[in-house]
Amino acid sequence: MQLTIALAQINTRLGDIRANLEKHLSVAQEAKAAGADLLVFPELSLTGYVLQDLTPVVARKPNADDPDFRELLRASRDLDLVVGFVEEDQRHRFYTAAAYLSRGEVVHVHHKVYLPTYGLFDEGRFFAWGDAVHAFNTRFGRVGILICEDFWHASPPYLLWLDGADLFIFTSASPGRGLRDEPQLDSARWVEHINRAYASLFTSFVAHTNRVGYEDGLNFWGGSTVFDPNGELLVKGPYHQEALTYVSLDLNQLHRTRARLPLLRDERTALMMRELGRILGEQSRGDR
Amino acid sequence: MIDLGINTDLARTILTGFLQSEITRMGFTRAVLGVSGGVDSALACYLAAEALGSQNVLAVLMPYKTSSPLSMEHARLVVEATGVQSLTMPITELVEPLFQRHPDASPLRRGNAMARARMIVLYDQSEAFHGLVVGTGNKTEILLGYTTLYGDSACALNPIGDLYKTQVRQLARAVGVPDVILEKPPTADLWSGQTDEGELGFTYEEVDKLLYLIVDQRYTPDECQEAGFSREFVLNVVERIRRNQFKRLLPPIAKLSNRTVGYDFLYLRDWGS
């Protein structure tokens, strides 16, 4: 089975949902015309990234009652969409969220579970922490979504793997940092390393969309990638420019790779749980 | 081994993109900057010309009567090489009345007044030319506080403030700044014979490596000493960084209300754009 993914590494206007929505809709038309089945936008693609006090202003509820989501849901009749936004829940907590939309329905919403609040990041100040990592079924098989810092930690991808995801969709608004005499920034090199590692360790597809553009002095580096279950790079978008990058996945690669390398079959989850229980149950001695 | 080498292609892409994006989203298409004949402003001018087109950049040359003629010559080299528009606005007439009133003013006071007179000229041209003022301060001088507050540090945006002086030289060479500018001793040219390194008491080569350890790599003073720097040099630089923090921040506002500019009224400049 083939799945054509389009990675939309767009620039956004900070806090201007209307302008960003229009870009989503026109990119969706373009991707549909090019034969894409699934179009992935970056983290906070509807709002921009450094929202600070704009966070509550741009928050939305992802359903057809919301005029902006109504248009996105309509567009999802043509091809599946992953969009980034701020979700406000019933109790008025604000989450960095990504929604998977298909055939006019909201199939899944992921809330970012790791909010970087260190260095240049201040997400924990403005956002609530997501509390779940769930894979979900799509018309292309079982999928998982993580947002940026979520996959700087090893446990969320691991959980998605055990929950059945064969395709990992990662979205970012990753500020470029670490300029040295290397072809990429440190931040780009790190993300490419770990995404290749996840694809290899979990013998799965890993698709990553990262935004471009600037917010004040921050640059976002793009460079969206897809790795296959062998850890091979299938496609890579350009650095620092808007692009719509397409790749056709041969989903039968999962069968071939796992026949060769049964890491999923052999994963000792009970041992993992037992040891984790022991480790967490023992009194901390300050050495771990 | 401390390696301050940078990928100049990547730096050039990011910095020209930054100037283009952050100037146009503020509703401008043009930039104004002071060009002194030194390497920092030369680099900023090359980047601005590349980002916005030479016709959209105004280089302002602002000599004082004691400025070295070589500085003007090098500034003109930059203007010619980049094809930007230029304007020469001597600041002598602006600052002389102040100096005549205070004939005993120290070189520091005079230097600060000259830097602030240049700021006045640049912001006047900013309005006249409808361009944003592009800063030309590098990371070394920002960290050491080797700048005049509301003088040469005043700008709308700064493309080179995260590059150490030695990295500025590297990028300047890559974008084509003439050798004669790259190779001369850096100077504020506030009085004859002044050089940065003479005034600071150390070379940029040395201090950039130390700053890289302290700031980028978060070394403690003890660790810097273990890495081969003298204790006196390390403590001098650490203290300079601390003492000059005020130059790197907006002035503190005394908090009274529940929501105060600077503390809990938080928006980027790019808000809504």
- Asked if pLDDT for residue A288 goes beyond 80, the answer is no
Whether B253 is covered by a domain: the verdict is no
Closest Cα in chain B, distance from residue A54 (Å):
7
Whether A286 is covered by a domain: the verdict is no
Nearest by CB: B271 against A15, A184, A185: A15
The pLDDT score that the predictor gives to residue A55 is 98
Q: Do B5 and A214 touch (CB under 8 A)?
A: no
Mean pLDDT of A64-89: 97
DSSP state of B86: E
The pLDDT score that the predictor gives to residue B60 is 98
* Distance in angstroms (rounded) separating the CA atoms of residues A243 and A241: 6
Which residues are A244's β-sheet partners?
A8
Mean pLDDT of A68-87: 98
Q: Do A185 and B10 touch (CB under 8 A)?
A: yes
Q: Do B272 and A13 touch (CB under 8 A)?
A: yes
- Asked if pLDDT for residue B193 goes beyond 90, the answer is no
Phi, psi values for residue A215, rounded to 5°: -135, 115
Tell whether A214 lies on the interface with B, counting CB pairs under 8 A: yes
Tell whether A183 lies on the interface with B, counting CB pairs under 8 A: yes
Whether B2 is covered by a domain: the verdict is no
CATH of the domain at B64: 3.40.50.620
- Asked if pLDDT for residue A285 goes beyond 80, the answer is no
Q: In chain A, how many domains are there?
A: 1
Which 3 state secondary structure label does DSSP give B148?
Answer: coil
The pLDDT score that the predictor gives to residue B194 is 87
The pLDDT score that the predictor gives to residue A286 is 73
Domain hosting residue A196, numbered range: 2-281
| Contact (CB, 8 A) for A191 and A245 | no
Tell whether A185 lies on the interface with B, counting CB pairs under 8 A: yes
- Residue A283: pLDDT band (50, 70, 90) is confident
Closest Cα in chain A, distance from residue B13 (Å):
8
- Residue B192: pLDDT band (50, 70, 90) is confident
- Residue A284: pLDDT band (50, 70, 90) is confident
DSSP state of B265: B
Which 3 state secondary structure label does DSSP give B142?
Answer: helix
Whether B238 is covered by a domain: the verdict is yes
Any residues with CB less than 8 A from the CB of A168 and at least 6 apart, and which? A143, A144, A146, A151, A157, A160, A198, A199, A202, A204, A205, A206, A207
Quick: pLDDT tens for A13-54. 999 999 999 999 999 999 999 999 999 999 999 999 999 999
* Distance in angstroms (rounded) separating the CA atoms of residues A199 and A257: 11
Mean pLDDT of B253-262: 96
Whether A287 is covered by a domain: the verdict is no
Q: How many angstroms separate the Cα of A205 from the Cα of each of A1, A26, A36, A158?
A: 14, 27, 17, 13
Strands A233-236 and A225-227: antiparallel
The pLDDT score that the predictor gives to residue B245 is 97
Q: Do A14 and B13 touch (CB under 8 A)?
A: no
Other beta carbons within 10 Å of A215: 25
Tell whether B271 lies on the interface with A, counting CB pairs under 8 A: yes
Mean pLDDT of B233-249: 97
Tell whether B260 lies on the interface with A, counting CB pairs under 8 A: no
The pLDDT score that the predictor gives to residue A49 is 98
- Residue B70: pLDDT band (50, 70, 90) is very high
* Distance in angstroms (rounded) separating the CA atoms of residues B206 and B228: 11
Nearest by CB: A52 against B13, B157, B268: B268
Length of chain B: 273
Alpha helix (H) ranges present in B88-203?
Answer: 92-101, 107-129, 139-144, 165-175, 179-183, 196-200
Tell whether B13 lies on the interface with A, counting CB pairs under 8 A: yes
Q: What is the 3-state secondary structure (H, E, C) of chain A?
A: CEEEEEEEECCCCCCCHHHHHHHHHHHHHHHHHCCCCEEECCCCCCCCCCCHHHHHHHCECCCCCCHHHHHHHHHCCCCEEEEEEEEECCCCCEEEEEEEEECCEEEEEEECCCCCCCCCCCHHHHCCCCCCCCCEEECCEEEEEEEHHHHHCCHHHHHHHHCCCCEEEEEECCECCCCCCCCCCHHHHHHHHHHHHHHHHCCCEEEEEECEEEECCEEEEECCEEECCCCCEEEECCECCCEEEEEEEECCHHHHHHHHCCHHHHCCHHHHHHHHHHHHHCCCCCCC
- Residue A287: pLDDT band (50, 70, 90) is confident
Partners of residue A217 in chain B, C-beta under 8 Å: 18, 157, 162
Whether B262 is covered by a domain: the verdict is no
CATH of the domain at A269: 3.60.110.10
Quick: pLDDT tens for A161-179. 999 999 999 999 999 999 9
Residue of B nearest to A222 (CA): B14
Whether A108 is covered by a domain: the verdict is yes
Partners of residue B267 in chain A, C-beta under 8 Å: 52-54
Tell whether A57 lies on the interface with B, counting CB pairs under 8 A: no
Q: Which two tokens stand for residue A13?
A: 């206007």
Closest Cα in chain A, distance from residue B96 (Å):
38
Q: Which of B134, B266, B269 would best serve as a mutation to test chain A binding (most A beta carbons within 10 A)?
A: B266
Which residues are A81's β-sheet partners?
A39, A101
Nearest by CB: B273 against A14, A184, A219: A14
- First and final CA of chain B: distance in angstroms? 43
Q: At what angle do helices B39-52 and B69-82 cross, to 10 degrees?
A: 20
Cβ contacts from A onto B, under 8 A: 64
Nearest by CB: A215 against B5, B13, B270: B270
Whether B266 is covered by a domain: the verdict is no
- Asked if pLDDT for residue A262 goes beyond 80, the answer is yes
Q: Which of B13, B215, B270 would best serve as a mutation to test chain A binding (most A beta carbons within 10 A)?
A: B270
Average pLDDT, chain B: 97
The pLDDT score that the predictor gives to residue B190 is 79
- Asked if pLDDT for residue B226 goes beyond 80, the answer is yes
Q: Do B10 and A184 touch (CB under 8 A)?
A: yes
- Asked if pLDDT for residue A220 goes beyond 80, the answer is yes
Any residues with CB less than 8 A from the CB of A233 and at least 6 apart, and which? A196, A225, A226, A227
A186: nearest Cα among B143, B228, B216, B47: B216
Mean pLDDT of A150-161: 98
Q: Do B267 and A181 touch (CB under 8 A)?
A: no
- Show which of residues 134-173 on chain B sit within 8 Å of chain A, judged by CB atoms: 157, 162
Closest Cα in chain A, distance from residue B265 (Å):
7
Whether A220 is covered by a domain: the verdict is yes
Tell whether A69 lies on the interface with B, counting CB pairs under 8 A: no
Domain hosting residue B173, numbered range: 8-248
Mean pLDDT of A179-186: 96
Whether A254 is covered by a domain: the verdict is yes
Whether B46 is covered by a domain: the verdict is yes
ipTM here: 0.95
The pLDDT score that the predictor gives to residue A143 is 98
Q: Which of B14, B142, B173, B217 would best serve as a mutation to test chain A binding (most A beta carbons within 10 A)?
A: B14
A88: nearest Cα among A116, A69, A107: A69
Whether A107 is covered by a domain: the verdict is yes
Tell whether A215 lies on the interface with B, counting CB pairs under 8 A: yes
Q: Do A176 and B14 touch (CB under 8 A)?
A: yes
Residue of B nearest to A50 (CA): B268
| Contact (CB, 8 A) for B137 and B151 | no
Average pLDDT, chain A: 97
* Distance in angstroms (rounded) separating the CA atoms of residues A43 and A130: 14
Q: In chain B, how many domains are there?
A: 1
The pLDDT score that the predictor gives to residue A122 is 97
